[in-house]
Amino acid sequence: MGITVIVGVLLLVGLCMGSFSGAMVWRLRARQLIDDKAAGEKVEAGELKRLKPLTEQGMATDRSRCLHCGHILNWYDLLPLASWMSTGGKCRYCHEKIGVFEPLIEIGTALFFISSFVFWPEPLYTATQITSFVLWLIAGVMLAILFAYDARWFLLPNRVVFPLIALSAVMAIIHVVTSTDVASALFSVLMAVVILSGVYFLLWIISKGRWIGFGDVKLGLALALMLADWRLAFIALFAANVVGCLIVIPGMLAGKITRKTHVPFGPLLICGCVIAGLFGDRILGWYFSMFL
């Protein structure tokens, strides 16, 4: 198969998976509101009313609806990116603006799929190598959901985090059992967990949950297992901080971010993990050739 064909397929699959992620984000939000309300917490009545229909049918039969008018959408309204562009970002039925949330998730997921293939650090010949790559892509879809959800509502839903931890554990096991030195590979995975999850766990305990949420601790565990290498875990943490500074410092200078602004760690950690997973080996190679 030619490279162009593979990239084209990954673009289309990435857009569709992004569309799926966007739909999942709203369903998760609806379920969260229902759970919160059941737990006696205050929820916005308007938001709950608008999103509730999303949870009333089973996943398989559920057709997506317009979040404003509730119109059940046709197949041509559900084409990733294309339907959004054809209507200028408005609902075809009530002409309400849909917003850039959905297309951004779709583009982001497609870019993740393509760059994962283009920059994948391992060869893709054996069944194990291809399996690891596909599991990485599936994990990426879950990360897209978590990224969008946390960026919008400062929360990492367990309904996604727990399956991601299970998937990451499988990735870590494959990594360990196929490595030449099983003992040191296992040690490396454990150290990665200490670096990515342990640090957040400590911060969570020290701050009694004020600086970071426990969701970040669980996400850190998943990402550590995904990367399965303590050096990559370190790069992920470092890259997350760099990306954070690149966003926070200009925001502070522009006066849009103050000390009180809530900055979600999830999206930063996810960025750090993707950078480490795709470029970590190259960054390490470059670092060692410079300083050793």
Residues in contact with Zn ion by CB under 5 A are: 66, 68-69, 91, 93-94
Beta carbon of residue 97, minimum distance to Zn ion (angstroms, whole number)? 10
Q: Which is nearer to Zn ion, 27 or 68 (CB)?
A: 68
Q: How far is the CB of 48 from Zn ion (least distance, A)?
A: 18
**Is 66 or 224 the residue whose CB approaches Zn ion more closely?**
66
Pick from 116, 209, 154: which is nearest to 32 by CA? 154
Q: Assign 3-state DSSP to the chain and report helix, strand, coil percentages, each to 5.
A: 70, 0, 25
The minimum distance between CB 71 and Zn ion, in angstroms, equals: 5
The radius of gyration of the chain's CA atoms, rounded to the nearest angstrom, is 20
For the CB of residue 99, give the shortest distance to Zn ion in the complex, in Å. 12
Q: Which helix (H) or strand (E) holds 257?
A: none
Q: Which is nearer to Zn ion, 53 or 244 (CB)?
A: 53
| Count of CA atoms in the C-beta half-sphere (13 A) of 71 | 15
| Residue closer to Zn ion (CB basis): 19 or 116 | 19
Q: Which of 95, 98, 108, 115 is nearest to 20 (CA)?
A: 108
Helix, coil or strand: residue 97? strand
What does the alpha-carbon distance between residue 257 and residue 147 come to, in Å, rounded to a whole number? Answer: 20
Question: At its nearest, how many Å lie between Zn ion and the CB of residue 64?
Answer: 11
Angle between helices 230-253 and 214-227 (to 10 degrees): 130
Q: Which is nearer to Zn ion, 95 or 256 (CB)?
A: 95
Shortest CB 68 distance to Zn ion, Å: 4
- State which residue, 68 or 159, has the beta carbon closest to Zn ion: 68
Backbone dihedral region for residue 154 (phi beyond 0: left; psi -120 to 50: alpha; all else: beta): left
